[in-house]
Structure 1
């Protein structure tokens, strides 16, 4: 699976159903490229298109159970990989990493806030 496909599935998992144009912006690709990608993921059973209940003119891309399962499996594999790497660190390195966690969480929060602000300004 391509990085763009995996990123798009993760975006849908985190943010919920989305328009192809919004997914394209989030992934940094063109709308036609995202349309092709969504079609391929749809054929693989990872996503489906549904009408937007609040605007019948809009079609939303949604994760299927298979898509959500794929995202969870990938996430778990990443967590396991980091756990194995952390096991290789010294006690001092683990302590330094633990001490850095609040700052890293704050960076992730700021990135999330910045991303939402960008999305709002694009509308």
Structure 2
């Protein structure tokens, strides 16, 4: 397998495992919710447009999702002090807890699928996880979008 194929395979497999875990756990929250909360977890307040780009969703879709997340207390919205037409989004403590709970649910649900992995393969998976984390640290930029 070529290098580009390996990375693509890892990404597709990770998405499939996340879907499987959500289905097996009965978690009905949309994956976009977890993606947005994960982006916000390590970011300063983010404008809606920048959040949409980082989450690879439309701005109207992100605005709707952020509204739902705000209603459930997972994020807060505020006007950008530098541009009152723009909206900034920040994760709340409740949002951080929900994200951590979801990650625990993923780990717990997926653990049986990996029960037979050898120590050497675990080391390979740990190394792959470290490499993917290192190469996926892009943060949303602040721009002129809402």
**How many residues matched?**
114
Structure number with higher helix proportion: 1
Q: Which runs of 4+ in 1 moved over 4 A?
A: none
Matched position secondary structure for 1:111 = coil
Partner of 2:91: 63
Matched position secondary structure for 1:48 = strand
Higher relative contact order (CA 8 A, sep 6+): 2
Partner of 1:39: 67
| Structure 1 unaligned regions, length at least 5 | none
TM-score normalised per structure 1: 0.74
Partner of 2:41: 13
Q: CA deviation at 1:82?
A: 4.1
TM-score normalised per structure 2: 0.64
Q: CA deviation at 1:76?
A: 1.6
Partner of 1:97: 122
Alignment of 1:48 onto 2:76: yes
Structure 1: distance between partners of 2:72 and 2:42: 20
| Structure 2 unaligned regions, length at least 5 | 1-28
Partner of 2:133: 108
